[in-house]
Amino acid sequence: LKTLPGVSVNNELSSQYSVRGGNFDENLLYINDIEINRPLFLRNGQQEGLSFINSDLVSKAKFSSGGFEAKYGDKLSSVLDVRYNRPDSNQLIVSAGILGSSIALKQAYKKSYLLAGIRYKNTRSILGKQDVQGSYNPNFADVQLLYETNLSPSLTLGITGNLNGGRFKLIPDSRETEFGTLSSNLHLNVGYTGEERSSYFASGGAATFTVTPKANWAIKWINSYFGSSENENANTIGAYYLDELTLNKPLPGNVGTSHSLGTYSNFTDNHLRIGTFISELKSEQNIGNHIFAWGFKYQQKRYAEDLNEIYQIDSFTPLSPSNLYNDYVLLRNNNLKINHFSSFIQDSYTIGAHTDLQLGARIAYNSISDKISLTPRLLIAYRPEGDNKILRLSAGVYNQ
């Protein structure tokens, strides 16, 4: 995914990505039609654990870096639609490595199937190469479960469950960084005392009822709830000095003019609780050379946030008034509830042997803005004869 056009990643330790310059939370992720939310407090890749997607359970995936269909949600950048489907045979997949291990079970029965996966990750062996030297202790694990059964010839029940947690601890010792330009090369050296901790735990489940009144018609009712708890704590003090290096001389003999000398302290005690409930009814029906789809969705999100951050810098070197740094203090408690209603309608039409046309629209309302948005969308796809490429032209309005 990270190698696709328009997709960029700024940290090799992270599974987060941005598309066309957007933020990581502007990307939609679906697993078996269930929308997935990501942790919000993560500041960098070393604090991030396992991606929600378990690659051992994936049957297929579809990615769009923009111009996606009306049936997908209200984000700006991209959509990744992942499917965990019925296995062809019973399988037990076990893997182990330096960074972690995993085990996955795929079990097929006559009228049902079971997919289960357990993963563990520890990146301590590679974090020692970071600019900040110290004692790293990262531990992450998750459990995923999908069970689907045919209650009758026309009714299917799917149960999805997930537990995902992680803890990250850092006792920093020192940091040494070089930066600047060819004409001004700077060297920053910091000594630390204290520690940083972060943790998160997420759990959730979904029940999906699928009714097939006819062979060419499927109606789905999806109900899901996901809750997460994120915590961030830091109590560190550092002493730093900033020098300008003399080019073409190795350290320590190339240290030149001293620019700054001082101390700083960082105290953080942040907590975030999120609860998301979603109920969605959607339909898809093949009628001749048309695929007609519609859906209604209700989503409620609750946030409870407690922020306590104090950041202070004290320089022993006299500074000009234009370079003074003001201490940063943030003390805030927030509680927020957002109700979101949306619906869509779209028609995929086969114009000819090599051309498809898709027309659709979304309408959405949320209680924060108290506004209704209408977003029409158009997609034309052309498949040249004797070629495995697909040319797409898309246009529309996207609202977040």
Q: How confident is the model over 318-373, as pLDDT tens digits? A: 655 555 555 778 888 999 999 999 999 999 988 888 888 999 999 999 998 899 99
Confidence of residue 116 (pLDDT cuts 50, 70, 90): very high
**What is the H or E stretch that residue 127 is in?**
helix 124-127
Domain assignment of residue 29, yes or no: yes
Domain assignment of residue 312, yes or no: yes
With helix as H, strand as E and coil as C, how does 343-373 read? EEEEEEEECCCCEEEEEEEEEEEECCCCEEE
Domain assignment of residue 323, yes or no: yes
Contact 187, 180 (CB under 8 A): no
Please give the distance of CA 397 from its chain centroid, rounded to a whole number: 23
Domain that holds residue 72: 7-396
Domain assignment of residue 252, yes or no: yes
pLDDT > 90: percent of the chain: 42
- How many structural domains are present in the chain? 1
Confidence of residue 256 (pLDDT cuts 50, 70, 90): low
Residue 227 identity (one-letter amino acid) = G
Domain assignment of residue 2, yes or no: no
Place of tokens 């309408």: 363
What average pLDDT is seen over the chain? Answer: 85
Domain assignment of residue 329, yes or no: yes
The tokens for 74 are 């209200």
Q: How far apart are CA 184 and CA 78, in angstroms?
A: 40
The tokens for 53 are 């997607």
Domain assignment of residue 1, yes or no: no
pTM: predicted TM-score of the whole model, two decimal places:
0.84
Closest CA to 169 of 201, 122, 217: 122
pLDDT of 265-319, one tens digit each? Answer: 889 999 999 999 999 999 999 998 899 999 999 999 999 999 999 888 777 666 5
Domain assignment of residue 349, yes or no: yes
pLDDT of 200-235, one tens digit each? Answer: 899 999 999 999 999 899 999 999 999 999 999 999
The reported pLDDT for the residue numbered 37 is 78
Query: Which carries the bigger pLDDT value, residue 160 or residue 183?
Result: 160
